[in-house]
Amino acid sequence: MERIKSTTVVAIRHNGEVVIGADGQATLGNTVAKSTVKKLRVLQGGKIVTGFAGSTADAFTLLEKFEEKLGAFGNNMKRAAVELAKEWRTDRMLSKLEAMMIVADQDDILIISGTGDVIEPDMEIATIGSGSMYAQSAARAMKQFAPQMSAEEMVRESLNIAADVCIYTNHNLVIEKVV
């Protein structure tokens, strides 16, 4: 049986703002299963925002684990991310999960993967999902050539460009700002 997959998430820090956004498409094989999936979660009253790509059920499992790690490590996002990545890589059940996460707070943007990676991306731009390289390319160009844009505008336009070229990304966007 095919799994439901969800795609394109982008986070950008620009001019003191941190914004994360995602499209709303979930696909089952080559069919759109749902076009309004919420791939972002706001934690700690907006101080941390997470986004996920990959198998939806797997992503929710990882999100719950991340919240547990936040609680265990005094809401230290970076430490919680490292501990989640370690457990994800070594735990027999978790190691089979197929998803990636972006977590962002006012200080850091991190990509967490099941291979044990916790990546602080270049240029303060993080992208995951099938449309991630399109969104990343667009975001990099905007940061370099249109620095007058806000972080929210960059996230929105990066996702729209990805949706224009990636068949697994749509224009139903959800955007959250880290407070």
What does the alpha-carbon distance between residue 36 and residue 18 come to, in Å, rounded to a whole number? Answer: 23
7 is catalytic: yes
What does the alpha-carbon distance between residue 20 and residue 38 come to, in Å, rounded to a whole number? Answer: 12
- What's the first-to-final CA gap in the chain, in angstroms? 40
β-strand partners of 153 = none
Q: Which residues are annotated as a binding site for Na(+)?
A: 163, 166, 169
The one catalytic residue in 7, 50, 56, 127 is: 7
* Contact of 167 with 47, CB cutoff 8 Å: no
97 is written with which tokens?
């999960």
Selection from 98, 94, 102 nearest residue 43 by Cα? 102
Catalytic residues: 7
